[in-house]
Structure 1
């Protein structure tokens, strides 16, 4: 199984590759011999029925799980050789939102900026939250936000996190049509800046330079 996207951007030579990946969960083989390559300015949309291994594949690509066989490379180097450097270039959003429920929206955004070593003045943080429809909810504890509002907060983090590679697991879940369009615009902007995106979604996505991989 192979999904290869031909380079369309010369902004960077960065690329994410997987060679001969196999994944086993319990006694079941989810996939084997899987190759993929995504270069700067490109998006890979992974699709398939529940249980085929989409989330398992994303976890392998992030380095959170190890494949049964095969390897993942970032810039022609195995991600295991310098995992810290790889994770500095990576933004991963999984099914669990990883937000601190007892902190406010603005506190979460500021906290993650500090962890990511990104300068984020209060004015910019507020403007970012407002841009994603959270005006008036900046100081609410996250546990008071709806599922869609939490996803909007994660979108705000995506826009402030300086990472080249975005790996997103069902990022459009719990979003209304307006927020879906805003997220697609955010991803498109990231791609136009030479970023790379790998995502799963049961929905059809409208993005430039996108290729579909069916598991």
Structure 2
């Protein structure tokens, strides 16, 4: 009996380049991440990490080459990819005049989640915001916004979680909570792609590392 075919990679970059005007943010990048592995992206500011994450999230399209998520083309199958991917970015995209609880309930209803209020309450407890559930987000500190943004990502239950500097603006307790959440995501089978300047934390959480310089992979 023939063996079952191997699953497609969690992520695959096929000779990918992305240009802004005359500047190449990503240049001729080829890389494949197997399912069941998580990836640490490192590199100085402007090295291409955020652009790479946005290409996977379908917020950008490559100038050349092809990006795939679990075998799906991020341009040709954009909507299907978006259902499987969630991006934690520098911009939180939160509703400023709603409370933390209301922000999660709105998204839960859009996603068709059963018992949205109860699910929202549970997620706020997981990210340490139970005492601030009725305050409008415009009153939140940067660290509180980051906690709420990760709760939104967890609500989506992605197959691939893209985390762009997830430890930024967090205090030590928040960093520890974020490490625990990333560990739980991995245990549940989620592919994590982590871009961070905190190399020690990143290396402890990811099995693979891709170092970028001026949009090119210099170590993997």
TM-score (norm 1): 0.87
Structure 2: runs of 5+ lacking an equivalent: 1-6, 213-220
CA drift at 1:13: 5.3
What's the RMSD between the two structures over aligned residues?
1.8
Q: Is the 8 A contact 2:128 2:147 kept in 1?
A: yes
Aligned-partner Cα distance in 1 for 2:110–2:118:
19
Counterpart secondary structure, 2:75: coil
Q: Do the aligned residues in 1 keep the contact of 2:42 with 2:49 (CA within 8 Å)?
A: yes
8 A Cα contact 1:43 1:209, kept in partner: yes
Instruction: For residue 162 of structure 1, report the CA deviation from its aligned partner.
Output: 1.6
The Cα offsets for residues 166-198 of structure 1, whole Å up to 9 and x where unpaired, read as: 112111110111111111111111111111111
With over 3 angstroms needed to count, the CA separation of the structure-2 counterparts of 1:123 and 1:76, relative to structure 1, is closer
* Structure (1 or 2) with the greater helix fraction: 2
Distance in 1, matches of 2:43 and 2:206, equals: 20
Query: Would you say the 8 A contact 1:41–1:192 is kept in 2?
Result: no
1:89 is the counterpart of 2:90? no
Equivalent residue in structure 2 for 1:146, among 116, 141, 145: 141
Structure 2 Cα separation of the partners of residues 134 and 148 of structure 1:
11
Kindly indicate whether the alpha-carbon contact (under 8 Å) linking 1:113 and 1:160 is maintained by their aligned counterparts in 2: yes
CA distance in 2, matches of 1:184, 1:21: 30
Indicate which of 29, 41, 44 corresponds to 1:46.
41
For the residues of structure 2 that align with 1:192 and 1:47, how far apart are their CA atoms? 23
Q: Which residue of 1 aligns with 2:209?
A: 212
Structure 1 unaligned segments of length 5 or more: list them: 1-11
Counterpart Cα distance in 2 of 1:48 and 1:209 = 15
User: Contact (CA 8 Å) 1:93, 1:171: kept in 2 or not?
Assistant: yes
**TM score, norm. by length of structure 2:** 0.85
CA distance 1:188–1:106, change in 2 (3 Å)? same
Alignment of 1:24-173 (within 5 A): 24-173=19-168
1:100 shift after superposition:
0.5
Provide the rounded CA distance (Å) in 2 between the counterparts of 1:71 and 1:124: 36
Give SS of 1:129's match: helix
| CA pair 160-210 structure 1, distance change in 2 beyond 3 A | same
The alpha-carbon deviation at position 130 of structure 1 amounts to 2.3
After superposition, what is the alpha-carbon deviation per residue over 1:77-123, rounded to whole angstroms, capped at 9, x for unaligned? Answer: 31222211111111112110010001000000111112223224423
Aligned positions, number? 204
- 2:14·2:66 contact (CA, 8 Å) conserved in 1? yes
Please give the alpha-carbon distance, in whole angstroms, between the structure 2 residues aligned to 1:96 and 1:147. Answer: 11
The structure-2 alpha-carbon separation of the partners of 1:125 and 1:27, relative to structure 1 and needing over 3 Å to count, comes to same
